[in-house]
Structure 1
């Protein structure tokens, strides 16, 4: 019986979409006006877009602060707008449905060019405004070409299906009596704070129960601008568009600067499939490569160094530091690559714990990329059962791991020159006690590919000479569906080697590497 209902629902949705299209109306978005839905967090990059949409800072703006029980005068969004120069600002709030249904209360809405719905608990918006004159005036504002924006709760309420509507527990995705939003976006459900609160997969519960819906997950500091059925992604992160199709969970991670067709339920721009197969979760990316950078115990300086190599290319890389606790909680599911930098591998291992290390293995096994540098390379080797064991590699002369640091020469193999876009065969690079890698003999793991070998060596602190030269300096290997790149020396600490790290991250993400100019 459940299967019949599901099929009927999907057919009904397709028919409704077709009728909207034939009538010249959007299938999901507003026929007139513009929506701006923000995933919460920092809105520094969003406010200028909001002002552009409404025609400037002198436009009449109404801010609805009811979702937050704190004083409306202390609302952060109100203060932001004032500080940015909004000169025609009205704040409205009430705890009474009767007041919300009065003509005097909605008078500012009739004159507004834009309404901003501030964050808090979306259940409060349901209690006070759903089905009142306030809701009707918001629809009227859109009908006359106005703008409705909102962040966090103010984003979720814009959908037809309301997630996290419970006023007491925002981990409840489907709260009885609080499952209906204002419906500016039809057949949708909007979640927020997706990246910082590990919510990438939470929407699936809703879609399983309501497969006709489109799930929209907003990263913090990220928004969609919706006109008709086109959703343009703006801000600092990603928007995760989720559907269930033929029993398969489909997720498109669309980067800022790209767009999504709400009617076709596909990105406007080309996408790259990362994982798939019968019964698998299919994640497809559009735009930049999303890189998680380990930033916790055992890696004090590495995040700054890695970011320094990748930050100047925002059109290609989206960076976020992640903690061991976040990794254990599953945050890597929203990324393409994990960068594990230098420091102390044993401390990193302890900080991650067995749960965190297994989460990393699952991430790579399912199609993610791993870039390990120095300590991150030690951590990925296979000769310690308590490490990650991503690559069939052992550490040579581990007893003298603290062999000192300095500049060394490495020689790239043909595979290394091709995959890492290196024009020269020999290069100088910074070394600081990284692992001397050699092939291990784990029968359940493939042999790694050698990308570079050490041509010269460091042999300080009683380390024997003649050992380092000829060992593997950089290697790559598959792990499940994913890719692993390891570097014993430090490209991120070597002037002129930034391009190598960029190429390694791009290769690990299974993307095309732009040619080295």
Structure 2
């Protein structure tokens, strides 16, 4: 299997599949309007994109809840749309095809600017709406420039080939009698919950039977926005695009902020392509990544340690130390990534001041990267007024933050091994009073991706036993157009783990997620 890990800047939206399609006539995506497909999970980071596409929170929006067992106004998606400010919501649900064919039922769709199809079970949507006036009005809404969006089953139903349509269970990928979707994206099959349910390779079964199709797998809290012939990836994870070429399956993993061209069946401006597992790749040719290292109060040793991990790859990283005053004066505009190392987060916060912290937020929001280690990870959390609030994370057992230092074991998640290019699932790493991170509940921040958890713990100086194990040791997240990586322990202080920092800096920059070989 061939894989590509792609990290690019967000580009304009469109989408198609046929190799020789006209540039002006999309053959997969909509000619007008836009399609938004979500891989399920937390949608906090996706709702703003939906409303950007709709253009007005006062626009009429239809919510189809039929796929879900909770199909009334207590439906979670319906409630979240209200909470995010939608003022003109109409709920549509029926189990009757006769009702779905009635003019009174479809009337709200004729006046809507957008339709949202909630998740649940795909077969319910097929039984109620396939080949009815309701399905035709959804297509008509798109044709007149509207927005069709959906999550989980609400995403899968928009493909031409429907996966997981079986009434007997969602582990059955191909279900005779339930293999046809609405076809808003032609020649495609769409899967969801890819990262949390280990579904990366599941579409291979479909492509083997139907080699003309393009498979689209979506991680949770991740979406693609489709206009014409390009899909743009947004959210916390990856979109996985798979196809059959010369009898073999080819998969591209496209990160948030990047785009995929369905006419070429390739990522837009793909940086590298491998013929083996992760790490077997070519180097991106977009020039050195410009890294600013915070070197001021509250971080006495970190600049040397971080610089030591990156200077051996001078062709890949351009490094300069920056002071808090330089950050306040806008120096980050000349860089791709800010590395904020260990020390004292409160002292770093005071040195930066409110202006400096807002400059960092602005830098990341506009597409910059942030790598925070130990104190830098504390500083990026969301549960203290003086923090940067880049990541939706709280600090567990803060009163025992000075729990001591030493070597601990961490276990990488599947996403962590992929993003950080780690072959071993468990490593020993240096820890020195870094934050024990857990998910926070900030409604304006997306949920983070857990990359590693603490497998063992340090509980000195009165810290209670059993608290540290299982908390997040390393996480990644989006913030605006930018990317954030946080590590509680110290890869830059652990012989043999320097590669983690190199991979984190590269990923956060929006380039190829793996370091120079």
Give the match's secondary structure for 1:123. helix
Where do 1:219-230 residues align within 5 Å?
219-230=219-230
Task: Tell me, yes or no, if the aligned pair for 1:122 and 1:165 is still in contact at 8 Å.
Answer: yes
Alignment correspondent of 1:369: 422
Alpha-carbon displacement from aligned partner over 1:109-128 (angstroms, at most 9, x marks no partner):
11111011000001110011
- Looking at CA atoms only, which structure, 1 or 2, has the larger radius of gyration? 1
For the residues of structure 2 that align with 1:219 and 1:25, how far apart are their CA atoms?
29
For the residues of structure 2 that align with 1:285 and 1:101, how far apart are their CA atoms?
55
For the residues of structure 2 that align with 1:208 and 1:71, how far apart are their CA atoms?
35
For the residues of structure 1 that align with 2:124 and 2:210, how far apart are their CA atoms?
23
Task: Tell me, yes or no, if the aligned pair for 1:253 and 1:285 is still in contact at 8 Å.
Answer: no
Task: Tell me, yes or no, if the aligned pair for 1:249 and 1:282 is still in contact at 8 Å.
Answer: no
Give the match's secondary structure for 1:273. coil
Q: How much has 1:271 moved relative to structure 2?
A: 2.6
Change (3 A) 1:316 1:167: farther
Give the match's secondary structure for 1:271. coil
Alignment correspondent of 1:21: 22
Alignment correspondent of 2:218: 218
Where do 1:17-96 residues align within 5 Å?
17=18, 20-21=21-22, 24-96=24-96
Q: How much has 1:129 moved relative to structure 2?
A: 0.2
For the residues of structure 2 that align with 1:213 and 1:146, how far apart are their CA atoms?
25
For the residues of structure 2 that align with 1:110 and 1:501, how far apart are their CA atoms?
47
Alignment correspondent of 1:383: none
Task: Tell me, yes or no, if the aligned pair for 1:343 and 1:374 is still in contact at 8 Å.
Answer: no
Alignment correspondent of 1:155: 155
Q: How much has 1:375 moved relative to structure 2?
A: 2.3
For the residues of structure 2 that align with 1:318 and 1:184, how far apart are their CA atoms?
39
Give the match's secondary structure for 2:216. strand
Higher relative contact order, chain-length normalized (CA < 8 Å, sep 6+): 2
Q: How much has 1:51 moved relative to structure 2?
A: 1.1
For the residues of structure 2 that align with 1:222 and 1:309, how far apart are their CA atoms?
29
Q: How much has 1:208 moved relative to structure 2?
A: 1.1
Q: How much has 1:376 moved relative to structure 2?
A: 5.2
Give the match's secondary structure for 2:141. helix
Task: Tell me, yes or no, if the aligned pair for 1:252 and 1:285 is still in contact at 8 Å.
Answer: no
Change (3 A) 1:342 1:237: farther
Please point out which of 500, 512, 515 is paired with 1:511. 515
Change (3 A) 1:93 1:318: farther
Alignment correspondent of 2:206: 206
For the residues of structure 2 that align with 1:46 and 1:232, how far apart are their CA atoms?
13
Alpha-carbon displacement from aligned partner over 1:387-429 (angstroms, at most 9, x marks no partner):
xxxxxxxxxxxxxxx9x99xxxxxxxxxxxxxxxxxxxxxxxx
Change (3 A) 1:474 1:87: closer
Where do 1:5-404 residues align within 5 Å?
17=18, 20-21=21-22, 24-276=24-276, 368-370=421-423, 375=428
Change (3 A) 1:501 1:172: closer
For the residues of structure 2 that align with 1:504 and 1:145, how far apart are their CA atoms?
35
Alignment correspondent of 1:391: none
Give the match's secondary structure for 2:215. strand
For the residues of structure 2 that align with 1:223 and 1:504, how far apart are their CA atoms?
19
For the residues of structure 2 that align with 1:164 and 1:257, how far apart are their CA atoms?
28
Q: After TM superposition, which residue ranges in structure 1, 4 or more long, deviate above 4 angstroms?
A: 280-287, 307-319, 341-345, 370-374, 473-476, 484-487, 498-509
For structure 1, which runs of at least 5 residues remain unmatched after alignment? Answer: 1-14, 288-306, 320-340, 378-401, 406-431, 435-450, 453-472, 477-483, 488-497
Aligned length: 341
State the Cα RMSD in Å: 4.5
Alignment correspondent of 2:449: none
For the residues of structure 1 that align with 2:114 and 2:170, how far apart are their CA atoms?
28
Task: Tell me, yes or no, if the aligned pair for 2:371 and 2:505 is still in contact at 8 Å.
Answer: no
Alignment correspondent of 2:482: none
After TM superposition, the score normalised by the length of structure 1 is 0.57
For structure 2, which runs of at least 5 residues remain unmatched after alignment? Answer: 1-15, 287-338, 343-359, 373-404, 431-457, 462-488
Change (3 A) 1:177 1:72: same
Change (3 A) 1:50 1:372: closer
For the residues of structure 2 that align with 1:229 and 1:504, how far apart are their CA atoms?
26
